[in-house]
Every structure is written in C-alpha cells, then in structure tokens.
Amino acid sequence: MGFFATLAYFASLREPFLARIVAHILISGERLATMDSCPLQNQVALVTGAGRRIGRVIALTLARAGADVVVHYNESKQGALATAREIESLGSRAMVARADVSRPKQVAALFRSVDKRFGRLDLLVNNAGIFFPAKWDQLREKDWDKILGINLKAVFFCAQAAARIMQRQGHGRIVIISSLGGLQAWPEYIHYCASKAGAISLTRSLAKALAPHIQVNSVAPGTILFPGDPHDAKTEKIIQAIPLKKGGRPEDIAETVLFLATRSDFITGQVFVVDGGKSIP
C-alpha cells in the first residue's frame, strides 16, 4: 500500500484526532504537489514575440507551470492567437496584445493594458528580436536603427514598464533573451552582435538598479533547431563544431527561463549560455 493510500486508510478509522492529523498531512501533501507541478500558479507572465518559435514555446512552458500569460506580437497575429488558444486549453488565462516594442509609447500602452486586465505582473520575458546578415561595408543606418530598436531599445523600455508594476508589488523577475552572438564576434552580423552584447550589459545594469526586489537575468541561446528547419551542409558543419554534436531545442531555452522564473532566489545579473558547449574556447 502506498504512503497516501495508507494515510487514507487510517483517516477512515473512527478516531477523530488521528483523522484530523491525517487530513492535515493529505492537504499539505496535495498543496506541495500542486506547488511543484504548477510553481507559477496565480502569477502573470508577459512574453514578447510569443506568436512563434522560441517565444511561443516559452509562453506554453510558463502556462504549463500554472502562469497566466500575455502573448505579445507585432506581426504574427495568427500565431499569437493560436498560442493563446493552446494556453487556455492548458487551463491558464491568456491575453493577446499587439505592440511595436521599438516604440516606447506603444510599450507603455501594452503594460497599462496588462495592469488593467490582471492588476499584477510577476515575470517579463524579453524575447522579441530580429536577426539578419549584412556585410560591414553594406550596413546602412536603417539596419542599425531597426536591429537596435527591437533587440536593445525595446528590451529596456519593456523592462522599465514591467519594473514599475513589479516594484509596486515588491517582487518580480525579468528574463532577457540575448544570444551567443552577444559574446562572440560574427563578422556578417556586426549589428546583431552589438545589439545582443548591449542586451547582456543591460541585464547586468538592470540587475543592480532593480535589486533587491526584482531579479534580472539573461539566457543566451546558441544554435537552436526547430522542426522543419532545413538541415543542409552548412547546418551540419555548425552542429559538428558543437561539443555535444547537436543543435538545441526551443524547449532547452524555455526550460532555462522556467528555472529562472521559479528556482533562482539568489541569482541576478547573470547570463546563462545554452549552446551545447559551442562557446568553450
């Protein structure tokens, strides 16, 4: 007979005092099991760029952990709606919200709507980002403005708006999705590397500025492969350069975000590199 079945047996005996003790143990055990399986129950998370790829997987992972999730998008409306439907099928609440996060006024409106709907915000995942190559002698001002606007400027203004709500609560966590490109030199992605290096520096500065009540950390993905992605000779060459000889899954990033959202009371200002060992010198 299992532990809880044994307790249930004793609880069925006509001994009021013993029954009360057993009932207390059963209720406590049920609460602990719920906390362990749904550590984000009654919490609200906002994931930028949650309509597709890594953002979508992060949003669904947080919902499975019990969080109500704000699914932000800019252009991927259908993906955002599909993500929200799946979140609701998991038993969590979902809110779909559009904003161009490179525009501070739209960011402010986004967070006002979240505050009005939920009255709180426990976790911000700054995931929205863009990535495109350009040779150094072909980079234009608009390329810099576009990539810095989304990959760095937006990260700050979203964090600023989130922190105002979190400070009112007295607690909160912010996770910034940066990149291995913020730690390495990629000649054909100079503008991208600069934006992600800025996001990493921003993580550390915000961690000090928002302490002690708000923790700020970053996750830096390496090569992440999605189902349906082409697996050509170039991709295979990249994989063979990774010590673990495989690409990462979006779930690897989402699970790291979940760890930082639930298990990291004494971690802030850190960058968690999830790259299969690719960054090892």
What residue type is assigned to position 156 of the chain? F
Question: How many other CB atoms are found less than 10 A from the CB of residue 211?
Answer: 12
Question: Would you name the residues annotated as active-site residues?
Answer: 192
Question: Residue 105: what are its φ and ψ, rounded to 5°?
Answer: -65, -40
Question: Residue 2: what are its φ and ψ, rounded to 5°?
Answer: -70, 170
Burial 164-188 (b: 16+ CB within 10 A, else e): ebbeeeeebbbbbbbbbbbbbeeee
Bridge partners, 175 (sequence order) = 125, 217
Q: How many CA atoms lie within 13 A of 1 on its CB side?
A: 7
